[in-house]
Amino acid sequence: SFETPPCGECAGGSPAESYSDNNSVPFNPWYRYGYSQSLYPGIALSGADTIRGISFRTSSSSTMSRNLTIAMANTSLTALSESSYVASSDLTTVAANVTVDFSVAGWVYIPFSTPFVYDGRSNVVVAVTNNTGQYQNFYFYQHTSDVGNSVYWYQDDSAVNPVSPNAENSGVMDNVPDIRFDVICEPAECTAPVIAVAGADIDYIEIVWMPTGAESSWVTGYKTENETSWTDEAVGDISY
């Protein structure tokens, strides 16, 4: 449910065992106010990424938009509870008081105003504050996480304070919402190999090179003095 996406694309978070019969996270649409934290394992990530948005997946729709605040954190926690969660001071607010449209069932994208930097080694907590002040039910897809879980608070009378969460309804669940993380892609860097001429004659030249990274294949190009375009050939060895 938590993967490094291909460059510029969203990925992760729709396993075969997803279901939508429990609606406490990322927020409970039956209630006016709520707060939750969901813990996602970093073990599926290939390295550090900058995340610029997330998507939650719904199985039904709602004609009512929601006022949400999204915050995130890198964390060493491996489980959440009502007494052990990420403090609000350790969270980075990535989308504050945004209006989110749930009128179409499926993946609902929430762009970040402040990108989140994943450190490449920690687990990640996603915190959602619902301050809509109204309710209308619909359902989110969620799934059981082998590493990670969720903690939630919700009620009708007043907003839930993320600094010290307390509400009429609260609890812990093994489920986490199906989620996608949208990452910012950095330009690929490729250090030039060390190249040398190993032999030459009137009708041939042999060049060899030494890789400077983990690369294992290359594209060589050649042309005569009078040609204007290069001829490219893929090479899987360190000589040509």
Q: pTM of the predicted model, to two decimals? A: 0.74
213/167: higher pLDDT: 167
Model confidence over 81-112: pLDDT tens digits?
999 999 999 999 999 999 999 999 999 999 99
Share of the chain above pLDDT 70, in %: 79
Span 130-157, average pLDDT:
91
Residue among 165, 71, 74 nearest 126 (CA):
71
